């Protein structure tokens, strides 16, 4: 087991997160892309896991993806009331309720695509920054992604571990 794998497992334990340790121990953590893929695989059973390409229209997948994000929040309950579009799914609007308050989330760049909008991860992180104690943090693999609910310190610590590895080298 590499020292990076040990650090990931120690980080998960110190943040009270459950992951597939064998997936981390067996991963070839040679660069940041391998690190990301290993984490997505290791958290695939214990966090919200989805594919970036959904294979169906946004009106079918977007409510489930948004609910998956919201279900990671532990200290408050958020309910997704609706996800609608008024411009043929170029954009969408989600109504989320919590503690009797309705929160509107405008989602840009939906583009009537079967891909999860790339900006959604940042929007959900901003949403959690405004309404939660911790942050919704999206980790991307080659196609799938997982969503974790972490403190800023936990995110910084994970980024520090990741940054010990080199950027991936692509054949040019």
Domain ranges of the chain: 59-137
- Treating both helix axes as pointing N-terminal to C-terminal, what angle do 120-131 and 58-70 enclose, rounded to 10 degrees? 40
CA–CA separation, 93 vs 89, rounded Å? 10
Do residues 160 and 153 touch, judged by C-beta distance below 8 A? no
Q: For residue range 120-167, what is the model confidence (pLDDT) as tens digits?
A: 999 999 999 999 999 999 999 988 999 999 999 999 999 999 999 999
Upper half-sphere CA count for residue 4 (Cβ side, 13 Å): 23
CA–CA separation, 148 vs 113, rounded Å? 25
Strands (E), the chain: 48-51, 79-84, 92-98, 101-107, 135-140, 144-150
Residue 142 has a CB neighbour count (10 Å cut-off) of 10
Q: Which residues pair with 139 in a beta bridge?
A: 146
Q: For residue range 15-60, what is the model confidence (pLDDT) as tens digits?
A: 999 999 999 999 999 999 999 999 999 999 999 999 999 999 999 9
Reported pTM: 0.93
């Amino acid at each position: 087991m590499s020292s990076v794998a040990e650090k990931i497992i120690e980080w998960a334990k110190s943040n009270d997160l459950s992951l597939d340790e064998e997936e981390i121990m067996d991963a070839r953590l040679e660069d940041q892309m391998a690190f990301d893929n290993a984490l997505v695989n290791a958290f695939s059973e214990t966090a919200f896991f989805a594919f970036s390409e959904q294979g169906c229209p946004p009106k079918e997948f977007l409510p489930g993806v948004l609910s998956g994000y919201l279900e990671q929040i532990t200290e408050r309950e958020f309910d997704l009331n609706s996800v609608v579009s008024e411009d043929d799914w170029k954009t969408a609007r989600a109504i989320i309720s919590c503690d009797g308050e309705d929160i509107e989330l405008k989602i840009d760049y939906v583009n009537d695509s079967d891909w999860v909008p790339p900006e959604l991860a940042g929007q959900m992180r901003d949403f959690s920054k405004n309404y939660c104690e911790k942050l919704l943090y999206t980790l991307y693999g080659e196609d799938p992604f997982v969503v974790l609910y972490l403190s800023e310190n936990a995110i910084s610590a994970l980024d520090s571990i990741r940054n010990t590895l080199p950027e991936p080298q692509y054949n040019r």
